[in-house]
Amino acid sequence: MMTRLLALLCCLGLSTAALRAEDGYRLWLRYDLIQDADLRTAYQQQLGQLHVGTNVDTTREMMAVSLRELRNGLRGLLGIHLAPAAGAPGKGSGLALRRLAAGEIGPEGYRLRQQGNRLELAASDDRGFLYGTFHLLRMLQMGESLRGLDVEEVPAKDIRILNHWDNLDGTVERGYAGFSIFNWHTLPDVLDPRYTDYARACASVGINGSVVTNVNANALIFRDDYLEKAAALADVFRPYGVKIYLTARFSAPMELGGLSTADPLDPEVKEWWAAKAKAIYSRIPDFGGFVVKANSEGQPGPREYGRSHAQGANLLADALAPYGGIVMWRAFVYNSDPEADRAAQAYEEFVPLDGQFRDNVVVQVKNGPIDFQPREPFSPLFGATPETPLLLELQITKEYLGQGTHLVGLAPLFAEVLQADTHQGGAGTTVASTVTGLAGVSNVGTARNWTGHPFGQADWYAFGRLAWEPALDPTAIYDEWAALTYGADEAVRKTISRMLVDSWEICVNYMTPLGLHHLMATGHHYGPGPWVDELSRPEWNPAYYHRADSAGIGFDRTLTGSNAVAQYAPAVREKFADPRTCPPEYLLWFHHLPWDWRMDNGKTLWEELCLRYQAGVEGTEWLAAEWASLEGQVDAERHREVSQYLTIQQREAEWWKNACLAYFQTHSRRPFPEGVEAPPHDVEHYQSLDYPYAPGIRPR
């Protein structure tokens, strides 16, 4: 009988596995039964009982979510049913929840501490309990010991927010994981369970806000019926501590309100926004605020009325202020002056405005001075506006990094920026220390596994973890993610995290080594297009950026050129301005150098450029080999899936290398150095390739 039951048990397990393939939907929140029986028993003994402190109100919806998560997690991981939370604290061992006074721990923070035979989860607010719950479950998933546990965590940044570039028609600008998870047509009635699962995933890594509409904004979102839809989403997100934000189209008072102007100083315009804010808050009492892209790439803004960005931002800030909302005003602006250096313009525009913004305005600055290129030096704006809080905007979606089909871990990029020393106000002033929060452009979509490429999940995870604690090490983050997502096996985990950590540099090498940037094709940005030089706006052309000619290559941003380097603090400026001290990864960002310029390693610039492209291609071979070595150690479905994407990455890495080198050789007129395979086609071949339906832009 026993045997038969065991057989049945086996069957069930097997049949579940067979019929419910690993589709990746569960992300890193996989509460499967822990296989190590001893460990499971130890956890069961430590956590078997739940003691709820008398000052913990479990009827609050966020607390209810925490308790549900805890119950589901322990049921899955340990196979135990946690007794319903009782009002009075019991005796004996187990997990105890205790509410701290507001001063005892920071907002959203928590403490997990072994206290005698109890493990205590303590926090001073509901979000703290929520985040502590996920922390505890993560430890169990990773098989970590709870003995002597004593951790206290408080988020380093208040604003930890995702930006969705999702349009109301369901398309996603720069989205490579299907289409928008938000179905505005069926909202507010149909509450796709995915909305809940999304908010839960965000909460599990500490993300506490979500901008659900595209920065290229649509005024329609402010129409009453759409506000009802947004309110329904807000209701779903709220118990997971995720505040909803919307993007505000600056001309909405005209398009939606029928006014003849959107001038920020116009009384009617002010009134319109005030009324709109009231309408929003009547439906969403904890509405977060607006993100605004104004006077940027064709978006309307205050400059059309001769007003400054500060005047524009303050208009909206005044409307939101009575309700506690904030304005995240983007510094991503540049004009079409052929004499100007696009890299210098955000600084030129915003530094003079420092001190003019309302208290509830945050200026949102992309990590680099151009636009999410594979690698950029940090934006000189960081630390340069002492009176104006800044938000660091990172792109999780891989617009310029393989568009979601390449395995490219972005945590090293995020960390490089966060740790960069601005020297503004003295050495050690990292970018991380200058910002009040992080905004990440989301990479999730309708793909069953959320991100298309299974490893795309890792950067959603990494963004959340770094927004919580910017000092975290990328390897440690990916170790965590790999363990949670693919199981706790040490070798598997290490291989995966190494692949992720090394993949960024690999991608930079096969796309834009040595500080090159903006070499991609036009519009969809899919694939290489270094030869493009005929677009109407000069700064949209790759040729504007690489400036390759018979003499050399690179953008001179020193005194002899645009002098954009002068925007950095002296210590940084001096390092970047001298090609001998400028880090090679930014060399051609700041300098136009002869093809025969000698690198420190003795190679000429041309040789080094070629060798880096070659190294990038070889890196993708290494990635494929590393992944192949995990066959049989990772479930077959996900192993196959990643392998298929790696095939694309290898082919496209070769494409980038071949197209770029074939093109640059038309300028350098030099042979390819030893160890570099010559492109199989001439540059005309690569120029002739055409991919009208590459994803990530609005379908035509």
- Least separation in angstroms between residue 407's CB and a second copy is 13
**680 lies in the binding site for a second copy (CB under 8 A):** no
* CB neighbourhood size of 133 (10 A): 26
**20 lies in the binding site for a second copy (CB under 8 A):** yes
**8 lies in the binding site for a second copy (CB under 8 A):** yes
From 22, 399, 416, 479, active-site residue: 399
Which one of 167-175, 201-209, 465-473, 627-635 is the stretch in contact with a second copy (CB under 8 A)?
A: 167-175
Do 483 and 141 form a contact (C-beta atoms < 8 A)?
Answer: yes
Mapping DSSP onto H, E and C, the string for 88-155 reads: CCCCCCEEEEEECCHHHCCCCCEEEEEECCEEEEEECCHHHHHHHHHHHHHHHHCCCCCCCCEEEECC
Which one of 21-29, 313-321, 363-371, 433-441 is the stretch in contact with a second copy (CB under 8 A)?
A: 21-29
**141 lies in the binding site for a second copy (CB under 8 A):** no
**259 lies in the binding site for a second copy (CB under 8 A):** no
Look up residue 569 and give its two tokens: 């603090």
- Tokens 């809080």 found at: 389
DSSP H/E element including 252:
helix 252-255
Do 451 and 444 form a contact (C-beta atoms < 8 A)?
Answer: yes
Q: Of 148, 267, 298, 692, which lies in the binding site for a second copy, with binding defined by CB under 8 A?
A: 692
- Least separation in angstroms between residue 189's CB and a second copy is 5
Determine whether 244 is exposed, middle or buried from the number of CB atoms within 10 Å of its CB (0-12, 13-18, 19+).
buried
402/503 Cα distance (integer angstroms): 11
- Least separation in angstroms between residue 171's CB and a second copy is 5
Q: What is the DSSP letter of 439?
A: E
Do 145 and 120 form a contact (C-beta atoms < 8 A)?
Answer: no
From 297, 473, 631, 682, active-site residue: 297
**Quick one: angle between helices 636-668 and 490-511, nearest 10?**
20
Does residue 376 carry a catalytic annotation? no
- Tokens 């929520």 found at: 130
**446 lies in the binding site for a second copy (CB under 8 A):** yes
Q: Of 43, 131, 179, 597, which lies in the binding site for a second copy, with binding defined by CB under 8 A?
A: 179
386/557 Cα distance (integer angstroms): 25
462/474 Cα distance (integer angstroms): 8
Question: Residue 363 — φ and ψ, nearest 5°?
Answer: -95, 125
Residues 25-64 that bind a second copy (CB under 8 A): 25-26, 31, 33
Which one of 129-137, 190-198, 205-213, 533-541 is the stretch in contact with a second copy (CB under 8 A)?
A: 190-198
Q: Where are the beta strands (DSSP E) in 168-208?
A: none
**656 lies in the binding site for a second copy (CB under 8 A):** no
**306 lies in the binding site for a second copy (CB under 8 A):** no
Nearer to a second copy, 136 or 447 (CB): 447
Does residue 534 carry a catalytic annotation? no
- Least separation in angstroms between residue 632's CB and a second copy is 19
**Three-state secondary structure call for residue 211:** strand
Which one of 191-199, 455-463, 545-553, 666-674 is the stretch in contact with a second copy (CB under 8 A)?
A: 191-199
Nearer to a second copy, 182 or 555 (CB): 182
From 22, 341, 371, 607, active-site residue: 371
Residues 197-226 that bind a second copy (CB under 8 A): 220
What is the size of the binding site for a second copy (CB under 8 A)?
A: 62
- Least separation in angstroms between residue 173's CB and a second copy is 11
606/386 Cα distance (integer angstroms): 41
Does residue 297 carry a catalytic annotation? yes
List alpha helices for 321-410, DSSP H.
Answer: 342-350
DSSP H/E element including 314:
helix 309-320
- Least separation in angstroms between residue 345's CB and a second copy is 31
Q: Which residues bind a second copy (CB under 8 A)?
A: 1-2, 5-6, 8-9, 11-16, 18-21, 23, 25-26, 31, 33, 72, 75-76, 79-81, 167-171, 178-179, 184-186, 189-191, 193-194, 220, 405, 446-448, 452, 637, 641, 644-645, 647-648, 651, 692-695, 698-700
Catalytic residues: 297, 371, 399
